[in-house]
Amino acid sequence: MNSKTQMTNDHLANLFEEMADLLELSGENAFRIRAYRSGAAAIQGLNQPVQELLAQGFDLTTIDGIGATLAEKSQVAIETGVIPALEKLRAEVPTTLRDVMRVPGLGAKKAMKLHQELGVMDLPSLKHVCLLGKVAELKGFGEKTQQSILQNIDIVAKAAERLPLDDADRLAESLRTHFSTCKAIRRLDFAGSYRRGKETIGDLDILVVSQSPETVMDRFGEHPDIAEVLARGDTKMSVRISGAFQVDLRVVEEACWGAALQYFTGSKEHNVHVRSLAKSLGLKVSEYGVFREGDDSMPIAGKDEESLYQAIGMPWIPPELRENRYEFQEDLKQRLKDLIETSDIRGDLHMHTVYTDGNDTIEAMAQAAIDRGLEYIAITDHSKRVSVARGLDDQKVLEQWAHIDRIGPEYKDRLLLLKGIECDILEDGKLDLSDECLAQADWVTASVHFGFKQSRQEITDRIIGAIAHRSVHAISHPSGRLISRRPAYDYDLTAVIQAAKEYGKCLEINANPERLDLNDLQAAAAAIAGVTIVINTDAHSIANLDLMKYGVQVARRAGIAKKQVLNTKTAKQMLGWLKQHKQPTG
């Protein structure tokens, strides 16, 4: 292996995704294209670098989704930094056509036709030929398609403008309220990646049952935030809201509500597997229902999702699990029985107050926790390294804890108030507060806030050093990422997971929608390894305590059970856990 070649899992997965796109543009068969997409997904889901696995002699073909061809190409890519077959495709097909094929209404075949007949290479050249009117003259396109392309080019160019989950929630609630006065609507729900709880969404799908589609679409068009109506048909309408964000409305018959909801919820990979199972039973599944092969006259199921899944011999699958990861495994029934719910959460072990950069007092946060039915909270203000947040030194931390000791009895039988701290892991690997100070805490969560540009080994060593510290209970937002704003720092997650398991420490799913860190794949890897997960809001205000549902959603997407999450314990159980994990000083 060339020692200069460093091939991360993300890099390798991106190469296979590019191969899939270029093969699709080349007109390759769907089976081969799907193989590369499945391989990319499998590689992204690994909790250990492929480069390390191959160095250990691991057989990649034992991983679901990776066949002999992809295993061989992975080996070549890691040894040389390139995949010859991909280089050949790049010479034959402009890679910039990948953007063109993503313009709504185009796809691979039309993108290649535009390239071959009009010389389209990328989005700017596509826009140019549209403005010249040349696309409208092409067979199979026309004026309507040309106008649609012009409208949608900017949407693709601004694809990075995805909505985080909390913003998507606000938009969905706004739309639900807007439609509430439309008496023609008999049923309404949201589908797509929003319903599956993905960390950001690129568009929003609304599904409606109504006997009067025109009335529903008229009402949709009256929403005050609509910037433009992109398309309107008999039962479907697409609009652009708040700049580049697209919302699609579909009106369906009540008889196929469940089938349509299942189909448009996805994921694509989940639906492919569902259709495959149906076919093995002599059935066909579509957005219109479940039919016997060769007989489309009468659906045998599909009025609701439960009947659709039952028809193919499965229980109803929660939307968060529909990613073709865990839902088709043999342990499904037990997984569904144990899957964590927001109502399982008993406490919150990461929050900030006016002592540092929080907006509310300890007392206000305590009362808000009681109002939300929590049994315990830990006050974890910043340590002094985070000076921008007025972080606390040893003396000020002890003063805060004395304050908590004074008011704690006031909450007897209502709330267990724990003395905590979010202690920085410094660039030299030390913790930001003295051992003597930390030893007096009920709960210590350690974090990296600075030194993101250190080497992979340095950051990994810092985190593992904190895990090994006798007073630390958890690592908060382990990757340090801020979604769409700041990438994760480079660290060895596998090594961190192993250390957390060895020392009996927790890794956090930070429920703030800007973080969601650990993410679903990372959280799954940690839980499978036997690491205890803790889900916290990192609240900086009373309102932030309501973010817990987003962290639970990440855990559900990871297939995590209630028993694998620390703060599903009762207050009494939590005290017992803390006592058991109290390390002797010295």
Cα end-to-end span (Å), the chain: 46
Query: Do 458 and 563 belong to one domain?
Result: yes
Query: Do 234 and 274 belong to one domain?
Result: no
Amino acid 13: pLDDT: 85
Q: Which of 421, 507, 492 is nearest to 462 (CA)?
A: 492
Query: Do 491 and 446 belong to one domain?
Result: yes
The CA distance from 521 to 449, in Å, is 22
> Pick from 252, 272, 299: which residue ends a domain?
252
DSSP for residue 63: S
CATH number (domain holding residue 486): 3.20.20.140
3-state helix, strand, coil in the chain (%, to 5): 50, 15, 35
The CA distance from 253 to 241, in Å, is 26
> Pick from 195, 228, 252: which residue ends a domain?
252
Query: Do 518 and 430 belong to one domain?
Result: yes
- Strands 289-292 and 203-210, how do they pair? unpaired
Q: Which of 266, 131, 129, 124 is nearest to 195 (CA)?
A: 266
Amino acid 5: pLDDT: 45
Query: Do 54 and 152 belong to one domain?
Result: no
- Are 172 and 190 a contacting pair, CB within 8 Å? yes
- Strands 236-241 and 226-232, how do they pair? antiparallel
Tokens linked to 534? 């803790």
CATH number (domain holding residue 285): 3.30.210.10
**Cis? peptide before 267, omega within 30° of 0:** yes
Query: Do 30 and 126 belong to one domain?
Result: no
322 lies in some domain: no
The CA distance from 303 to 289, in Å, is 7
**DSSP SS3 for 443:** strand
379 lies in some domain: no
Q: How wide is the angle at C-alpha 262 spanned by C-alphas 256 and 265, nearest 5°?
A: 130
Query: Do 55 and 85 belong to one domain?
Result: yes
Q: Angle, nearest 10°, between helix axes 142-157 and 123-131?
A: 150
Distance of CA 166 to the CA centre of its chain: 13
Residue for token digits 């071959």?
116
- Are 445 and 420 a contacting pair, CB within 8 Å? yes
326 lies in some domain: no
Distance of CA 498 to the CA centre of its chain: 23
Amino acid 157: pLDDT: 63
| Residues in the chain with pLDDT values less than 70 | 1-7, 45, 47, 155-161, 242-244, 584-586
DSSP for residue 508: E
Digit-coded pLDDT (tens) for 362-413? 999 999 999 999 999 999 999 999 998 999 999 999 999 999 999 999 999 9
- Are 100 and 126 a contacting pair, CB within 8 Å? yes
CATH number (domain holding residue 105): 1.10.150.20
- Are 554 and 199 a contacting pair, CB within 8 Å? yes
Query: Do 424 and 568 belong to one domain?
Result: yes
393 lies in some domain: no
Digit-coded pLDDT (tens) for 262-278? 999 999 999 999 999 99
511 lies in some domain: yes
Query: Do 116 and 228 belong to one domain?
Result: no
- Strands 474-475 and 443-447, how do they pair? parallel
Amino acid 164: pLDDT: 87
Structural domain span for residue 295: 256-317
Query: Do 487 and 560 belong to one domain?
Result: yes
Q: Mind giving me the DSSP string for 150-164?
A: HHHHHHHHTTT-PEE
- Are 395 and 436 a contacting pair, CB within 8 Å? no
Q: Mind giving me the DSSP string for 102-149?
A: TSTT--HHHHHHHHHHH---SHHHHHHHHHTTHHHHSTTTHHHHHHHH
Query: Do 432 and 468 belong to one domain?
Result: yes
384 lies in some domain: no
Q: Mind giving me the DSSP string for 313-339?
A: T-PPPPGGGTTTSSTTSTTHHHHHHHB
Domain count, the chain: 5
Query: Do 138 and 263 belong to one domain?
Result: no
395 lies in some domain: no
Q: Mind giving me the DSSP string for 251-320?
A: EE-GGGHHHHHHHHH--HHHHHHHHHHHHHTTEEEETTEEEETTB-SS-SB-SSHHHHHHHTT-PPPPGG
114 lies in some domain: yes
> Pick from 75, 92, 109: which residue ends a domain?
92
